[in-house]
Structure 1
């Protein structure tokens, strides 16, 4: 009994091993048949399936005349197709996107098993490719709704031949329309020679590349391209990381154009109109990121060098750059049309001191970055007191900050911070600047009339799309003080309304100077209207104070300055000093003396007659503005308050 029970499992064991062996052999047999089938698959049967799959993938009808293979059995067959056409998307209109007489592709079968289409040999004969992009940026060669990660697959092509093929490009966003033959062969490599128009001017586009015959597809691939037009002449020469790997390359570039905006039509970086450009540089492209290893050249009269990196992170553009200009003219940042528009505005509203620089950041909603800049010499057509400029510009989600901003002047400097906050509502401009080291004689340009050390503090905020508009609604303060200087005695007498002293010193000693203890112009701004709190001056012979306003909308000045003499005045000037006009063209009326350094005898007689008439009670016309003459002026307290 026991012997029979132990013998049964021993008998069953060989039976299970036989069954398991049979299953394994069967699976191997099926796999062998599948491999044989793959190696000898009749690809002609797949024509309809390929048409349907390609049509669905491209979103346009695809038609294939025939599909054949070059051998009965191969795991890397050469698949040939004839009479292929891919229709344009509906938004383009009638016509074909791609049309091929014949094409052959060597396809590794096992790569297809894993969902990868990686041909290593391609031959095209008799083709026409029509690339189209509309003004909004929609392109027939991009699949909508599936943005690229910028990396893509590495190149696998070791052999490529293209003959009798025409390339057509109609790019409305760039304003570029070209057409010409495209060829790739073992002797000449890649060649494209196309002609057409760019921004409605004649253009020629030439591109060359190395041969693609028996090469290592991952080896560096040389290329060059030239776009030649009156609107832009641009060259690029370098190498790709692999054959036709446009996502990874480095190149030396040059560009000449009447305006930077024309170059932007090609590189699409959001640049603006300028004076003519002449640029050279070295760039690298790595996936979605760009590296400007070197950039330099000229924009109008401006000369600069720099470098930058541009990264794409979570749908945002991150820019880090350093720029240095040996000389810079702000007028170079506008093209001929911009200058014409500015001239038209000036003709309509008159010249302005505050620039109409745009601070609306709505188009930079997805751009962040930091730009460190330095200008060694500032140029201006009519001259400028500014000499150099430097700072660090930071942009973060439409909050633009210029930190460590420093502008040196003929004497002294202006330093501080500027901000533009456009995270919500209209752009809000904030200015916090301090002036130090200036001299009054250099600022006014009359060293023989007045001198002194100048300091100041500007603290303003306002909203608007431009600097001019924001400051026309500004709140805050704008203060300037001058101390430790001198002023011409005649001017001090006029300030103190001492007519007898003014006449004596104007005729007898017009160059005599007296101490300037302080000049304080401390303006408080409310909705763009600046009111002095206070406006005062203390000289060695007089004390004065002012009233009135400066309206930033139009830059209109309406100030009156009245004073009293520290010595006894035999005859007082009837009227105070009037300051009017605009910031760009102020006017000063000094009791009828005008603005001349040495008034005429006629003017003196007019002032004398009017003042004498007022003193005798014969002049009944009251002054336009009455300001009680100050008994004294507290320089120390007023200076401290203005500079807070």
Structure 2
């Protein structure tokens, strides 16, 4: 028997912490049990079983019990080799089958001596609706997931566990790996390697977790910053290293990430993710991230670099602008999740693109040249001009990002931005205003405005209120009316026009990525 608090009647006197681990079994040379009965009532595992137990001659050990596991019907069958007349220290064969709708667990192997549960090796297979159900049986601190189908070669030696091989699937994720879990000086040390042919992070949540995430999304709307938990309080006695590689990342909503590899190091509640390489649809992200939970609330810090990403992929407008993006993100903040920590972050985030192209129409809108915009829209809607540079550097304080600077230079037009991005609700409120090299007769009064959220930005160009941001006929006439009004002195006093000063692309780009 064991109650929900863990008190059981099968535990003996507690061993001293500095006592050597047990490695031998009971040393039996003869054991006979006729018509035995075994009952197990384990409230901690939510497992209740009862059935016949016998140990006789050449037939060896036999246990056949029925009951319930996690409130579903369950059957347990255990078979062991003969005990009489053999070397009690020799390898002793044993196999176990636990069959239930909540978990199908099978193990076949040998112990190092008769009934020696301290040292054994086995091939183990497990199928369950969630990894949490397997954890109920083996009590390893695992979490809820999508359905599992796993197979592994397992060894136990004293206090230590070894997964010489493990592989299979969780949801639609497929992986292989190995691991060791060692107990030393009251701490747990993990050394593991994992490689996945395909992996979906959503598989690491069970149906209840997915439902909770869906409810949160419905309440607060879609978010870009993940709610991944980074509180390490439950790992205060755990250290280790996990090397991982994912050949193909999957996501129901689609993702620009293609593959992922890196190493996780945990040392006394300091978690470091390094050697990180995330391959994107174009380019890659590299760098280091740390979670420090040695005192106070968890502190997340990042130093990530972006290289070779296509600008049109980032902006989401391949017809309007092209180029190759470089970037750097150095943010740090405190919170129990990634989202909470970044919503309070200080630091900087920057992207730079040089030597691209931009539609001449968009360049004229950027330069607030209404005449040039109308001319391009009518006569040369597809014409392109060089993009000398786009430099977007944001300084972050308390989760609010402010441009410092946000600048675009097409050679014929320049634009500079102001406003903010608030990571607390992921809202965007940016304005881009500029001018062309030649002072236009009619100036677009309305600047380019970027609003919405990180997950769904909305762009308004030339007076357009359309979510697409494409300047339409109505937008032109509105902008034309306001521009003429400004030219003849009607309406508000026009803002002074800055001198045309080309952007120092080399200096600003170097400063942004420093």
Q: Give the TM-score category using the shorter length.
A: over 0.9
Matched, 1:165 2:61: no
CA distance in 2, matches of 1:507, 1:394: 59
Q: CA deviation at 1:157?
A: 0.7
CA distance in 1, matches of 2:68, 2:25: 34
- Consecutive unaligned residues of structure 1, counting only runs of 5 or more, are 1-131
Distance 1:175 1:278, change over 3 A: same
Q: Residue 249 of structure 2 corresponds to which residue in structure 1?
A: 378
Matched, 1:136 2:5: yes
CA distance in 1, matches of 2:27, 2:11: 21
Q: CA deviation at 1:628?
A: 5.6
Q: Residue 15 of structure 2 corresponds to which residue in structure 1?
A: 146
The 8 Å contact of residues 220 and 242 in structure 1, kept in 2 or not, is answered as yes
CA distance in 2, matches of 1:633, 1:136: 68
Q: Residue 540 of structure 1 corresponds to which residue in structure 2?
A: 411
Matched, 1:289 2:160: yes
Q: Residue 54 of structure 1 corresponds to which residue in structure 2?
A: none
Q: Residue 482 of structure 2 corresponds to which residue in structure 1?
A: 610
Matched, 1:198 2:69: yes
Q: Deviations over 1:283-307 (max 9, x none)?
A: 1111111110100001111110000
Out of 460, 468, 492, the position equivalent to 1:620 is: 492
Q: CA deviation at 1:613?
A: 1.9
- Partner secondary structure for residue 160 of structure 1: coil
CA distance in 1, matches of 2:7, 2:358: 68
Matched, 1:496 2:367: yes
Q: CA deviation at 1:247?
A: 0.7
- Partner secondary structure for residue 428 of structure 2: strand
Distance 1:587 1:596, change over 3 A: closer
The 8 Å contact of residues 331 and 380 in structure 1, kept in 2 or not, is answered as yes
Q: Deviations over 1:322-363 (max 9, x none)?
A: 000001111111110011000111111111000000000000
Q: Residue 61 of structure 1 corresponds to which residue in structure 2?
A: none
Distance 1:280 1:629, change over 3 A: farther
Q: Residue 637 of structure 1 corresponds to which residue in structure 2?
A: 507
CA distance in 2, matches of 1:585, 1:420: 29
Q: Deviations over 1:538-594 (max 9, x none)?
A: 013210101111111111111111101112312111111111111011111112234
Distance 1:143 1:156, change over 3 A: closer
Distance 1:628 1:475, change over 3 A: farther
Q: CA deviation at 1:622?
A: 7.9
Q: CA deviation at 1:177?
A: 1.2
Q: CA deviation at 1:155?
A: 3.8
CA distance in 1, matches of 2:165, 2:103: 20
The 8 Å contact of residues 39 and 50 in structure 2, kept in 1 or not, is answered as yes
The 8 Å contact of residues 460 and 470 in structure 2, kept in 1 or not, is answered as no
TM-score, normalised to structure 1, is 0.77
Q: Residue 601 of structure 1 corresponds to which residue in structure 2?
A: 473
The 8 Å contact of residues 389 and 407 in structure 1, kept in 2 or not, is answered as yes
Q: Deviations over 1:216-246 (max 9, x none)?
A: 1011000000111111111000011100001
CA RMSD of aligned residues (A): 1.7
Q: Residue 106 of structure 2 corresponds to which residue in structure 1?
A: 235
Q: CA deviation at 1:621?
A: 8.8
CA distance in 1, matches of 2:197, 2:180: 22
The 8 Å contact of residues 23 and 119 in structure 2, kept in 1 or not, is answered as no
Q: Residue 270 of structure 2 corresponds to which residue in structure 1?
A: 399
Output aligned runs, 1:541-580, within 5 Å.
541-580=412-451
Q: Deviations over 1:168-193 (max 9, x none)?
A: 11112212111111111114211111
CA distance in 1, matches of 2:53, 2:260: 50
Distance 1:304 1:603, change over 3 A: same
Which of the pair has more CA radius of gyration? 1
Output aligned runs, 1:53-64, within 5 Å.
none
- Partner secondary structure for residue 331 of structure 1: helix
Q: Residue 272 of structure 1 corresponds to which residue in structure 2?
A: 143
- Partner secondary structure for residue 327 of structure 1: strand
* Bigger share in helix: 1
CA distance in 2, matches of 1:234, 1:514: 65
Once structures 1 and 2 are overlaid, which stretch shifts more, 560-569 or 243-252?
560-569
TM-score, normalised to structure 2, is 0.96
The 8 Å contact of residues 413 and 437 in structure 1, kept in 2 or not, is answered as yes
Output aligned runs, 1:205-604, within 5 Å.
205-593=76-464, 594=466, 596=468, 599-604=471-476
Distance 1:212 1:529, change over 3 A: same
Q: Deviations over 1:358-398 (max 9, x none)?
A: 00000001111100000000111121110110001111111
CA distance in 2, matches of 1:462, 1:434: 18
CA distance in 2, matches of 1:581, 1:399: 36
The 8 Å contact of residues 544 and 629 in structure 1, kept in 2 or not, is answered as no
Aligned residues: 511
Distance 1:508 1:354, change over 3 A: same
The 8 Å contact of residues 515 and 539 in structure 1, kept in 2 or not, is answered as yes
Distance 1:630 1:185, change over 3 A: farther
Q: Deviations over 1:495-515 (max 9, x none)?
A: 100111111112221111111
Q: CA deviation at 1:630?
A: 6.0
